[in-house]
Structure 1
Amino acid sequence: MPDPDDGPRRFRDRPVSFVRRSGRMSDGQERAWSELADRYLVPVERDAAATSIRPGTTVDPVALFGRTAPLTVEIGSGQGHAIVHAATTRPGEDHLAVEVFRAGLARTMLDADRAGVDNLRLVEGNAPEVLEHLLPEGSVDEVWIFFPDPWHKSRHHKRRLIAPDFPPLAARALRDGGRLRLATDWQDYAVQMREVLADAADFRAGFEGEWAPRYEGRVMTAFERKGLAKGREIRDLTYVRTPRR
């Protein structure tokens, strides 16, 4: 059965890295969406699907945040623990959370509001399209992808986000010298990430040896605790965007 969010094949020429199941938000999340979305949620023009980004619709980060500052984008921000912590502890930087699940976005808004942060915005959208269409070229200082869905069954590996067609999209959005930070608790996915980025023309490894040290800016989340509790090792990888020619 086709994914209802895939829409016409014109703009979804590969399987998306998520299945957007409908789910009822809690009363608190519903209130957060109605009361805080105007403050935190970036309005975007859609294309073929509910989470798509219309080509040619680009946001200006300076206008979005009202200042010029380093910008970090977290892809698959979940309930927002990492990005809200970053926004709280780094007030001189701006942060953008990209997520497809409304319940997670609503929770992120609630926590951001409680923390009183104004240097965080949220996008409800498919991450590759956000990187390709919504963000200006060279506008991002760091892209974070922490514990993406591993799609651990072999027949589902085609849905993994970190695949050969992903690095050019991340490279487009990142400034020269910007960083792509990855983390996963699935060994085979970590190896796949490393192989994909090793072949990426626009990136070089930002670490020595097999794996990068744990990124100090990554707050411990439920996903990481769950992996550790199951005896899985956490693998970090960091890559630097090489200069444009």
Structure 2
Amino acid sequence: MPEAADVRVFRERPVSFVRRSGRMSEAQERAWDELSDRYLLEIPRAEAATSVHPGSTIDPERVYGRRAPLVVEIGSGQGHAIVHAAASRPGTDFLAVEVFRAGLARTMLDADRAGVANLRLAEANAPEVLTHLLPEGSVDELWIFFPDPWHKKRHTKRRLIEPGFLPSVQRVLRPGGVVRLATDWEDYARQMRTVFDEAAGFDRDFAGEWAERHPGRVLTAFERKGERAGRSIRDLTYRRTGSR
């Protein structure tokens, strides 16, 4: 049994994901080996495998080789939405944040097939990306589509969207920047709305009860699964206020 002083604490807060190590297909293994140098950011780690070492901030202009609007997707899954968006908007830069390695490999494979050059991937815990990796005020749009709902009552405390997460969101968004959210779990949608409505630094960017579907959000497996289960998709959009 280690002494109390020797016990390592990887993170102060529980992560909002389960890192599934699912087996990759041969094509995904090949994509990981051949395309990582082009698409995957090299991220200095702290103790945990998907952590970001404090102070390891990137310079987007250097990473992408230009100055352009930056869109970040948290929990990009297999990359369907972000690859489509990057291919459709070559004048904008995109960053996919995901911990599921097979999903990242699929994203790289599809990006390569589509000839996408304005996309990079971060294999990292999203809150640490927002706190350490991205510069303050560097993001024009932040996408959080279908985050893990942790729908069992005893697990809801693990949800990503809670008051303690919002200062990191506010930090990376430029003034006037937008955060877009979508979920197929009504109670989580209402929680998201309450958290953002009550937070300083954000204004609703929609009228009525829910936002219109973001036209840049393509239909994904998560959305189809929710619809087959009879769950309605709810969107929210908030705009960052203030000058800093």
TM-score bucket of the superposed structures, by smaller chain:
over 0.9
Which consecutive residues of structure 2, in runs of 5 or more, have no partner in the other structure?
A: 1-6
Partner of 1:212: 211
Asked whether the 8 Å contact 1:58–1:135 carries over to 2, the reply is yes
Amino acid at match of 2:169: A
Partner of 1:82: 81
The root-mean-square deviation of aligned C-alpha atoms, in Å, is 1.1
C-alpha separation in 2, matches of 1:87 and 1:36: 17
C-alpha separation in 2, matches of 1:60 and 1:177: 21
Partner of 1:3: none
Partner of 1:200: 199
Residue 140 (structure 1) shift: 0.4
Amino acid at match of 2:140: D
Partner of 1:32: 31
C-alpha separation in 2, matches of 1:207 and 1:231: 25
Asked whether the 8 Å contact 1:80–1:105 carries over to 2, the reply is yes
Residue 22 (structure 1) shift: 2.3
C-alpha separation in 2, matches of 1:200 and 1:45: 31
- TM-score by structure 2 length? 0.95
Partner of 1:22: 21
Partner of 1:189: 188
- TM-score by structure 1 length? 0.95
Residue 8 (structure 1) shift: 3.6
Q: 3-state DSSP class of the match of 1:103? A: helix
Equivalent positions of 1:82-231 (< 5 A) are 82-231=81-230
Amino acid at match of 1:112: A
Partner of 1:66: 65
CA deviations 1:47-78 (Å, max 9, x no partner) are 02000000001000000000000000000000
Asked whether the 8 Å contact 1:168–1:202 carries over to 2, the reply is no
Which consecutive residues of structure 1, in runs of 5 or more, have no partner in the other structure?
A: 1-6
C-alpha separation in 2, matches of 1:235 and 1:56: 36
Partner of 1:4: none
Equivalent residue pairs, number = 238
Q: 3-state DSSP class of the match of 1:82? A: helix
Amino acid at match of 1:102: R
C-alpha separation in 2, matches of 1:159 and 1:189: 12
CA deviations 1:59-104 (Å, max 9, x no partner) are 0000000000000000000000000000000000000000001000
